[in-house]
Amino acid sequence: MTTESGLPFRELYGPADLADWDPDVQLAEPGEYPYTRGVYASMYTGRPWTMRQYAGFGTAAESNARYRHLLAAGTTGLSVAFDLPTQMGYDSDHPLAKGEVGKVGVAIDSIEDMRVLFDQIPLDEVSTSMTINAPAAILLLLYQLVAEEQGIRSDQLNGTIQNDVLKEYIARGTYIYPPVESLRLITDIFTYCRNEIPRWNTISISGYHMAEAGATPAQEIAFTLADGVEYVRAAVASGQDVDEFAPRLAFFFVARTTLLEEIAKFRAARRMWARIMREEFGAKNPKSLMLRFHTQTAGVQLTAQQPEVNLVRVAIQALGAVLGGTQSLHTNSFDEAIALPTEKAARLALRTQQVLAYESDVTATVDPFAGSYAMETLTDEVEAAAVALMNQVEQLGGAVAAIEAGFQKSEIENSAYRIINEIDAGDRIVVGVNRFSLKEEEHYEPLRVDPAIEAAQVERLTRLRAGRDNSVVDAALAAIKSAASGEANLLYPMKDALQAGATVGEVSDALREVWGQYTPTDVF
């Protein structure tokens, strides 16, 4: 038997497997370099992880109602899903948005929508994560503007924007601009947040979407950390000191049902990042060395067949994330393989985390697998496989050059193809799909998004454009183009434009006019 990364899985592990082990390094205390056992000394013995539920659908008003329900149910952080047009920097009335408005997340076209989205939610008391990449700066600025309208200082805001464009070229596809220009925008965000929103996590470097596309655990952390290296290099090249921005970097990983390898993956990733930051970039602030990460359970492993079985899968995946030392967690709802989660399903997903935190004993001790022959061996082996992949990326010239060569995408596609073949052949068991299936599935009524919301969003945009001072908006958009052509920080003119009533699409188009759009090539 082999692990998901193709490493040998032995039936029995023992002292011989750790013959070359250095306990002074591998078993350094939690909260100490290289952070294999956790980034904080007390981990969950002091308080549990942040419990987030990723949510967003339809209109801003509908999503606001879901957020308030989740907060009342005990979630400790919000996580915003945006619809596809918003993710691509298009307004709801753009021809390419037709049929997609509000479908996979909430539609946000302007500051008016953002006001509704966070109505009656005190932004100084919640931590908000936003899964947004190419237009990340725009959504962050809208959030800041709404907070200011609530009378909240920017230094009181706490949250994360995903802002990880490199993985979009590899696995997800919601990119807009070419890589070099995208990196410019990301480093501008780093600088802006350091000066204006100091508690904000400026990027969540994501392996989750690579894993959903088929990446193995070793590929997931290798390609994610390689992207992280590229972002750090870009920020340092722009003149920033590593210890000024690195403490606000965060990561985002998946948790699969393969419990043991997932725990090993998280432990290996922490150790690798600590060494990279110290040895390559000379970081001295301990917070610059800490790989802090959010985890989401594996949506790709959920099944539309016998969907209630997904409750078991999600519980196992969440347990792996917790035992691996995550800082925050989203548990998928059991019905997500069918449609957007119903309110009941979302509540059950949250209850899964609460049972782990308050009814199990996994929060009673830090890193309970430390010293396990199997776990320590797996951690070392996953690390070695990931380091080998990172070395291949470096040999190609770094993450951007490897992306342009199609390396990461090719490796992930090969892995995905292998998994599909194993499922089809019955070598990989998926309960309810290729084993233990039912002759007839029970009927399940999914949540459906009202198609009328698209017309309503278009009407809101029409009223917005008619009621604003378009000469002020045009001047603000011209200022964005000027900044994009030069070296000034883009976020200041972008904020002015959004405050004047410019839309997400208009601000994105201003940058498109200067930078163009990225067209992928498969050349590896």
Residue 523 lies in a domain: no
Same domain, 195 and 289: yes
Tell whether 522 is covered by a domain: no
Tell the residue number behind the tokens 């990989």, with chain if given: 428
- List pLDDT tens digits, range 194-223: 999 999 999 999 999 999 999 999 999 999
pLDDT band at 301 (very low <50, low <70, confident <90, very high): very high
Confidence at 524, pLDDT banded by 50, 70, 90: low
Tell me, yes or no, whether 361 and 265 share the same domain.
yes
pLDDT at 199: 96
Domain finish residue from 407, 425, 443:
425
For residue range 395-413, list pLDDT tens digits in order. Answer: 999 999 999 999 999 999 9
Residue 521 domain-assigned (yes or no): no
pLDDT band at 270 (very low <50, low <70, confident <90, very high): very high
CA distance 221 to 390: 9
The pLDDT of residue 322 is above 60: yes
Whether the per-residue pLDDT at 523 is higher than 60: the answer is no
Q: What's the number of domains the chain is made of?
A: 2
Q: At what angle do helices 136-149 and 491-499 cross, to 10 degrees?
A: 60
> What band does 49 get if pLDDT is binned at 50, 70 and 90?
very high
* Domain with 227 in it: 15-425
Examine residue 7 and state whether it is found in any structural domain, yes or no. no
Q: Percent of the chain having pLDDT more than 90?
A: 90
Please give the mean pLDDT across all residues of the chain. Answer: 95
State percent of the chain over pLDDT 70.
99
Res. 188: pLDDT tops 60:
yes
Helices of type H across 238-330: 242-245, 259-279, 286-289, 309-323
My answer on whether 346 and 476 are in the same domain is no
Domain presence at residue 110: yes
Least confident among 168-172, 267-271, 447-451: 447-451
The predicted model gives 475-485 an average pLDDT of: 98
- 233 and 367 both lie in a single domain: yes
* Mean pLDDT, residues 453-471: 96
> Is residue 431 in some structural domain?
no
The order of strands in the sheet holding 158-161 is: 158-161, 127-131, 77-81, 50-55, 328-330, 293-297, 249-255, 203-206
Q: 230: exposed, middle or buried (C-beta count within 10 Å: 0-12, 13-18, 19+)?
A: buried
pLDDT for 383: 97
Q: Residue range 454-476: average pLDDT?
A: 97
Identify whether residues 504 and 411 lie together within a single domain. no
- Same domain as 456, residue 415: no
Q: What is the pLDDT of residue 100?
A: 95
Rounded to two decimals, the pTM is 0.94
Say if residue 381 is in the same domain as residue 494.
no
| 1 in a structural domain | no
Q: Rg of the Cα trace of the chain?
A: 23
Asked whether the predicted pLDDT for residue 76 surpasses 60, the reply is yes
Query: How confident is the model at residue 522, as a pLDDT?
Result: 61
Q: What is the CATH number of the domain that holds 170?
A: 3.20.20.240
Q: Are 268 and 253 in contact (CB under 8 A)?
A: no
Is pLDDT of 182 > 60? yes
Q: What is the pLDDT of residues 357-395, one digit of tens each?
A: 999 999 999 999 999 999 999 999 999 999 999 999 999
Check whether residue 288 and residue 353 sit in a common domain: yes
Please answer whether residues 236 and 191 qualify as being in contact, where contact means their C-beta atoms are separated by less than 8 angstroms. no
Residue type, 459: E
Query: Which residues does 192 contact at the CB level (< 8 Å), separation at least 6?
Result: 137, 489, 491, 492
Q: Tell me how far apart the alpha carbons of residues 425 and 304 are, in angstroms, rounded to a whole number.
A: 20
Asked whether residue 156 falls in the same domain as residue 286, the answer is yes
> Are residues 345 and 461 both part of a single domain?
no
Would you say residue 25 has pLDDT above 70?
no
**Whole-number Cα distances in Å, 479 to 186, 465, 509, 511, 514:** 19, 19, 13, 11, 12
Domain-located, residue 3: no
pLDDT at residue 355 tops 80: yes
Q: Does the structure show a pLDDT above 70 at 467?
A: yes
Q: In this predicted model, which residue has the larger pLDDT, 232 or 17?
A: 232
- One domain for residues 293 and 415: yes
Q: What is the pLDDT of residue 80?
A: 96
Residue-wise pLDDT tens digits, 238-247: 999 999 999 9
* Pair (34, 176) in one structural domain: yes
Mean pLDDT score, 132-152: 98
Whether 315 has a pLDDT exceeding 80, the answer reads: yes
Better-scored residue on pLDDT, 443 or 111: 111
